[in-house]
Structure 1
């Protein structure tokens, strides 16, 4: 992560795969059966909804894209090809899903260590007020913490907001989706 562009730390389930959406089809999304590591038989395939228009929209943001998902490198094998994305760097979560005694999301501390003061956007469906406060206290650069509803995923207006912030990273405390 040596690029000078803002980082976009991207979760899969929620923002790209609106896993809480009703069973009806979402416009632009296709349903994909996937077997990433951990989903081999006897497990049923994982059903993932993806919108191929998201790949070009993400690339157009002008950010350095990084997977910030439990899919880790498997996102490059299963998600990136559907979206038309190249293989991306990914965060390797050392602590798994351990609950933090202070209420900070289990991804937050490691993510902030990895961005190392660079401007970043974190797109996830599990960001909360405790994460915003923690990032505001512990991250020295601009940050946008952008929570996406896992019932709808990323929408065109979300890409507009992300592009505007990426073009002019706002210094100061972490912000939230309007």
Structure 2
């Protein structure tokens, strides 16, 4: 099972009217973190929670290599594979521009995609074009991944691991 992981709005919350907590990491803070002043909004405990999901974590973010340079060490994660986004001139509206590349990257494998920009159009398109189970789970960008999000993901993973 794959888990495609966005950063902005998923791990790194933004857009709330309330102040965000500021975290310190017990892991070796990357020197590159100084270039990303909002990194301390990411709860380092999310790393262990993501690892406990027991699936292949893949960066699905515009952070590209910075996800492995800054975010992975902050979370105590190893370097993860990352989706290399194709250069496309035309937008795939109403689909999110990540939808087609993620389905292609999954290559028929079951996957979870967590992002703050997923819509019903993305879910419908993935269901019609991807032969394996897929959970496209929208996260509230104001809060990032929450206990409720993890409950949905864990339930889906458990149900779909049981399938032959």
TM-score normalised to the size of structure 1?
A: 0.79
Structure 2, unaligned runs of 5 or more: none
Name the structure with the higher strand share: 1
Alignment counterpart, residue 30 of structure 1, candidates 5, 23, 37: 23
Q: Residues 118-172 of structure 1: CA distance to partner in whole angstroms, max 9, x if unpaired?
A: 00000000001111111011000000000001001111121122112112228xx
Structure 1, unaligned runs of 5 or more: 1-5, 36-44, 171-178
Is the CA contact 1:124–1:147 (under 8 Å) kept in the aligned structure 2?
yes
Residue of structure 1 equivalent to 2:106: 115
Q: Structure 1 pair 111/19, CA: closer, same or farther in 2 (3 Å)? A: same
RMSD, aligned α-carbons? 2.3
Structure 1 residue 86 and structure 2 residue 81: aligned? no
Name the structure with the higher helix share: 2
Structure 1 residue 12 and structure 2 residue 7: aligned? yes
Structure 1 residue 53 and structure 2 residue 48: aligned? no
Q: Give the count of matched residue pairs.
A: 154
Residue of structure 2 equivalent to 1:149: 140
Q: Structure 1 pair 98/78, CA: closer, same or farther in 2 (3 Å)? A: farther
